[in-house]
Structure 1
Amino acid sequence: MATPLPFSRFEWLIAWRYLRARRAEGGVSVMTWISLIGIALAVFALIATLAVRTGFRSEFVGTVLGANAHVTLYSHGTVTEQGQIDRKLTEYDALAEAAAAVPGVIRTAPLIKGQVMASLRQRSAGVEVFGISAANIATLPGIAQSEAAIGDLSRFDEGVALGSGVARELGVSVGDRIKLISPNGVKTAFGTSPRVNAYEVVYIFTAGRYDIDRTRLYMPFAEAQSYFNREGYADEIEVMVEDPETVDRMVLPLLQAGDEVASGIGVWTWRDASGGFLRALEVEDNVMFIILSILVLIATMNIVSGLIMLVKNKGRDIGILRTIGLSEGSVMRVFFLCGACTGVVGTLLGVILGCLFAIYIDPIFSFVNYVMGGGVWDPAIRGIYALPAELRLADVLSAVALSLTLSFVITIFPARRAARMNPVEALRYE
C-alpha cells in the first residue's frame, strides 16, 4: 500500500472539519476566533508601528535635508592676538567652486549666520539669520519649493524671507517691514552700539519642521555681510549632495578639495548634526520591534490553548483515525494545519488592517484629533506638523515572517501531543 504524501487532500479535509466545530463544541470555535483576532491585532499593531516609525524618520530626514546643508565646510580658524578664534572664510567663492567640482555634489552656497531679535509693532522674537544669495536660495528645496509659501521669492534681493512660525508669532504678512536688532553693531569710541535695520518681508515659507519655521530668516548675502560686519568673507559653505544617506563617503573628497584652496578646512555633515536624534530613533525602533514581537508571541500562544482543547475534545476521533491506519505524521499534520490556518488568516487580516491604517492615517488622525477636542499633536514638541506613516514592503514582510514563524513553531507542540496519543487509551472509555 502506497504511503500518502504529506499534506494530502484528506488531511486538509479533516483539519477543515475540526476547525468548523459543532455547536456542542463551541469552546473550540471560540478559542479559534480569539486566536485569530489576537494575531490580527498584533500584526496590525506591528505594521502600524513600523509604518509610523519609517514615516517619522523619512519626514525628519526629508525636512532637515530640504532646508539644511548636507555638508558644511568651515574653517578651523586661527587664534588672534586677543586670544579669539578667527574662522573667516575669505576665499569663499573659490572654496564653493572647488566643492562643486567634487563628483556627487549638486549645490554649494556661501553662508553668513547670525542671531538677532526681530520685532514688529509690539511683538518680538529671536531669529536665526542665514545670509545667502538669491540664486542659491532659489535652489534650496525646502524653501523655494514650499507648498504653503506665500510671497514672491524672485524679490528676495529687496527684502527677507521669513519662516511661517516667526511670521505667525510676530503677526507678519508679506509686505510688512520688520526690524532686526543685533547687539553687535557699529563700533564707536564709546563701545559697540546695537544695529537696527528694517526690512520688507517678501516671502514666507513653511519648511515642514517647526524648529526651522519658528526660528529662521533668510537675508541677501551681501546685505548680511554688511549687517553683521563681515564684509569680504563668509562663515561657512553649504554643500548638498546627490545621495545624503551616503554622505560619509563625500567627507574625504570635500576635505581634499578644500585643502587645495585654503588650509584648516573642516567638514560637518548632517549626520553629525542630527546623529544623536537618529541614534535615539534607531534604539527606539529596535525596542519597539522587540516589544511588539512579544505581543505577537502572546497572541500566537492562544493557538496553543485552542489546539489543546481541540485535541482533548477530539481524543475519540484521534483513536479511531489511528486505528484505521492513519500514521502519527498524518495526525500531527492535521492539527498543525488547524493551528497554521488560524495563524495565516490572522496574519492576513492584520496585514490588511495595518496597510489600511498606514494609507489612511491622515483621516484617521483627523478623526482622533476631532474626538479628543484637538491638540493631540503638538509640533513644538515633535518638530513636524502631522503624524507621518510610510508603508514599506520590507516592514510588511518582516511582520508577516515573524507572525507566521511564531504561529507555525507554536503549533508544532500540541500537534505532536495529538500524534503521540495512544489510540487504546483514547478509546478505552468509548
Structure 2
Amino acid sequence: MSSPAPFSRYEFMIAWRYLRARRAEGGVSVMTWISLIGIALGVMALIATLAVRAGFRAEFVDTILGANAHSTVYMMPQRVETEFTDDVYVVPGRFQDYDAMAARLAEVPGVTRTAAIIRGQVMATANDSSNVAEVYGVSLADLKAMPRIVDPATSTGNVEDFGRGIAIGSGIARELAVEIGDKLRLIAPEGARTPFGTTPRVNTYEVTYIFSAGRYDIDRTRIYMPLAEAQSYFNREGVADEVEIYVTDPEQIDDWTLPLLRAAGEGAQVWNWRDSSGSFLAALDMEDDVMFVILSVLVLIASMNITSGLIMLVKNKGRDIGILRTMGLTEGAVLRVFFLCGAFTGVIGTLAGVILGVLLALNVDSIMAGLNALTGGGAWQPEVRGIYRLPAELRAWDIFRAVALSLALSFIVTIFPARRAARMNPVEALRYE
C-alpha cells in the first residue's frame, strides 16, 4: 500500500483545524491574529510606498518631458579677438541657418520633431510686482506640440491667440496678479544698442494664454513668446540659440547623443533631459531601494510572530503529535501539517495586505487632500517637492515582489518550528498522558 502524496487533503484539514483552535483547546488564535495583522500591515505599507514612489517619479518625468525638449543642440561659445587690440571676448554660440540645422537633425532616425528656439532672461512686472522669468521664443506649432503646456484642463485662454501676445505660467500670473487680456511689462538687460552702449529694453505684451505645466518651478518662471518677436526683442535677428529635439523613446535619450552630434557638425554640443535631472532621478531610484529594504525588515519582524505562534502551538499540541505519529503519520507529514499552519497565516495576511495596499494607493490623492485640509496646506508643499500632487502608480512588478517577499519570509520562518514538531518523539510526547 503506497503512502499518501505530500500535502494531501488530510494534512490541510489538520492544519486548518489547529489554526482555528480556541485557546481553551490548546490553540494560539491570539498569536495567529497578531501575525496575520502584522504581515497585512507590512505588505500594505510596502505596496503603498512603492506605488507612491513610482507615481512620484512618473509624474516628475512627465512634467519634464511634457514641457521641455528631450534633448537640445547648441553651439559652443566662440572666442573673438578685437581688430585693434589684443582683447579677447566670448561670443555666445548661435545657429545662423537654424532652419537647415533643424531639418538636418530631424533626419536622424528616431527623431520625431525639431524646433529652433530663442532663450533669454527678463524681469516681468505688473501691478507694482515683479518676478524673474525665462523667455522661450517658439513658433505657435511648436508650442501646441507641448502636451503639458496646451492641456485644456489646466490652461486659460486660447492658444491660437499666441501670435499677438505671450503665454505665461500660472505661477507668474498668480504672483503678478494678471489675467487673460492684461498687460505684462518685460525688461531685458540686453536691449537697444546706442552710441553710449546697450540699454535695457522694455516692452509691454498682452497676456493671451496662461498655462500650468504641473511643475512649480516652470509655472513660476517661464514665458513663451512668438519666435520672430523674441528674435527682435533679444537682438537675435536671423539666428536661433538652440534647436530642441524630440525622440520616440525619451527614456533612452542617451542613445541619440552621438547621432545628433554627427548631424549637427563641428562645434555643436548636446544636452538632454537626463543631464539636467539625472542626479535627482538617481537619488529617487536609490531611495526606492532603501525604502524596499526598510519595509522588508518590517515584514520580516511581522513574519517572526509566526515562529512564536507555531512554537507555542507545537508545545500545546505535543499529545496530538504523539497520537498522530502512533497512528502512522510520518515525520514529513507532521512537518507539512505545521508548515501549512504557518503558511496559511502568511498567505491570508499577504492577501489582506495586497487588498489594503491597493486601496490605499488608489485613494492617496484623497488622503493627501484630507491631510492638507487638516494642516492648512502643510502636508504637501509644491515649492519644495516641485509637483502639485502626490500621485500613485500601481505596477505589477512592485505588487509581485511585495507578495513574493512576504510569502518567502512566511514560509522560511515556518520551517524551524515545523521541523521541531516533526522530530518530536511520540513516546516522550505520550509518557505523562
Pairwise same-fold verdict (TM > 0.5): yes
1:180 aligns with 2:186: yes
Deviation of 1:146 after TM superposition, in Å, equals 4.7
AA matched with 1:129: V
AA matched with 2:11: E
Q: Which ranges of structure 2 fall in alignment gaps of 5 or more residues? A: 82-87
Q: Are the equivalent residues in 2 in contact too, given 1:319–1:426 (CA < 8 A)?
A: yes
CA distance in structure 2 between the aligned counterparts of 1:256 and 1:360, rounded to whole angstroms: 48
CA distance in structure 1 between the aligned counterparts of 2:26 and 2:111, rounded to whole angstroms: 68
Structure 2 residue corresponding to 1:326, chosen from 320, 324, 329: 329
Q: Which residue of 2 is the match for residue 379 of structure 1? A: 382
Deviation of 1:27 after TM superposition, in Å, equals 6.5
Deviation of 1:395 after TM superposition, in Å, equals 0.7
Taking a change above 3 Å as real, the CA distance of residues 14 and 174 of structure 1, as seen in their structure-2 partners, is same
AA matched with 2:174: R
Residues 266-315 of structure 1: per-residue CA shift (max 9 Å, x gap)? 11111111111011111111111111111111111110011011011111
Q: Which residue of 2 is the match for residue 161 of structure 1? A: 167
Q: Are the equivalent residues in 2 in contact too, given 1:146–1:207 (CA < 8 A)?
A: no
AA matched with 1:193: T
The answer to which of 15-24 and 360-369 deviates more is 360-369
Q: Which residue of 1 is the match for residue 420 of structure 2? A: 417
Q: Which residue of 1 is the match for residue 58 of structure 2? A: 58
CA distance in structure 2 between the aligned counterparts of 1:83 and 1:191, rounded to whole angstroms: 16
Q: Which residue of 1 is the match for residue 68 of structure 2? A: 68
CA distance in structure 2 between the aligned counterparts of 1:382 and 1:146, rounded to whole angstroms: 24
Deviation of 1:25 after TM superposition, in Å, equals 4.8
Q: Which residue of 1 is the match for residue 362 of structure 2? A: 359
| 3-state SS of 1:325 partner | coil
Q: Which residue of 1 is the match for residue 85 of structure 2? A: none
Structure 2 residue corresponding to 1:94, chosen from 80, 100, 103: 100
Q: Which residue of 2 is the match for residue 202 of structure 1? A: 208
1:347 aligns with 2:333: no
| 3-state SS of 1:84 partner | strand
Residues 12-32 of structure 1: per-residue CA shift (max 9 Å, x gap)? 111011001124157610000
Q: Which residue of 2 is the match for residue 36 of structure 1? A: 36
Taking a change above 3 Å as real, the CA distance of residues 420 and 26 of structure 1, as seen in their structure-2 partners, is closer
Q: Are the equivalent residues in 2 in contact too, given 1:11–1:330 (CA < 8 A)?
A: yes
| 3-state SS of 2:30 partner | helix
AA matched with 2:79: V
AA matched with 2:20: R
CA distance in structure 2 between the aligned counterparts of 1:219 and 1:99, rounded to whole angstroms: 23
Q: What are the equivalent positions in structure 2 for 1:219-258 lying under 5 Å apart? A: 219-258=225-264
Q: Which residue of 1 is the match for residue 432 of structure 2? A: 429
The answer to which of 225-234 and 31-40 deviates more is 225-234
Residues 225-278 of structure 1: per-residue CA shift (max 9 Å, x gap)? 11111112111101111111111111222222212xxx2111111111111101
Deviation of 1:77 after TM superposition, in Å, equals 3.0
Structure 2 residue corresponding to 1:134, chosen from 112, 128, 140: 140
Structure 1 residue corresponding to 2:150, chosen from 136, 144, 147: 144
AA matched with 1:154: E
Q: Are the equivalent residues in 2 in contact too, given 1:146–1:206 (CA < 8 A)?
A: no
| 3-state SS of 1:102 partner | coil
Q: Are the equivalent residues in 2 in contact too, given 1:378–1:385 (CA < 8 A)?
A: yes
Deviation of 1:176 after TM superposition, in Å, equals 0.3
Tell me how many residue pairs correspond in the alignment: 427
Q: Which residue of 1 is the match for residue 177 of structure 2? A: 171
AA matched with 2:371: V
CA distance in structure 2 between the aligned counterparts of 1:209 and 1:86, rounded to whole angstroms: 29
CA distance in structure 2 between the aligned counterparts of 1:366 and 1:249, rounded to whole angstroms: 40
Runs of 4 or more above 3 Å deviation = 371-374
Structure 2 residue corresponding to 1:125, chosen from 124, 131, 135: 131
AA matched with 1:323: T
1:105 aligns with 2:111: yes
Taking a change above 3 Å as real, the CA distance of residues 66 and 329 of structure 1, as seen in their structure-2 partners, is same
Deviation of 1:197 after TM superposition, in Å, equals 0.4
CA distance in structure 1 between the aligned counterparts of 2:293 and 2:276, rounded to whole angstroms: 28
CA distance in structure 2 between the aligned counterparts of 1:19 and 1:140, rounded to whole angstroms: 59
Q: Which residue of 2 is the match for residue 20 of structure 1? A: 20
Deviation of 1:374 after TM superposition, in Å, equals 3.2
| 3-state SS of 1:197 partner | strand
CA distance in structure 2 between the aligned counterparts of 1:25 and 1:302, rounded to whole angstroms: 20
1:391 aligns with 2:394: yes
Q: Are the equivalent residues in 2 in contact too, given 1:71–1:239 (CA < 8 A)?
A: yes
Residues 340-368 of structure 1: per-residue CA shift (max 9 Å, x gap)? 01000000000001111122222222223
1:46 aligns with 2:49: no
Q: Are the equivalent residues in 1 in contact too, given 2:27–2:316 (CA < 8 A)?
A: no
Deviation of 1:423 after TM superposition, in Å, equals 1.2
Q: Are the equivalent residues in 2 in contact too, given 1:80–1:86 (CA < 8 A)?
A: no
Residues 43-92 of structure 1: per-residue CA shift (max 9 Å, x gap)? 00000011001100100000100000101011123211233143111121
CA distance in structure 1 between the aligned counterparts of 2:143 and 2:377, rounded to whole angstroms: 35
CA distance in structure 1 between the aligned counterparts of 2:396 and 2:271, rounded to whole angstroms: 33
AA matched with 1:37: I
CA distance in structure 2 between the aligned counterparts of 1:146 and 1:52, rounded to whole angstroms: 26
CA distance in structure 1 between the aligned counterparts of 2:183 and 2:411, rounded to whole angstroms: 69
The answer to which of 211-220 and 364-373 deviates more is 364-373
Q: Which residue of 2 is the match for residue 271 of structure 1? A: 274
Residues 72-122 of structure 1: per-residue CA shift (max 9 Å, x gap)? 011123211233143111121111111112221111111111111100021
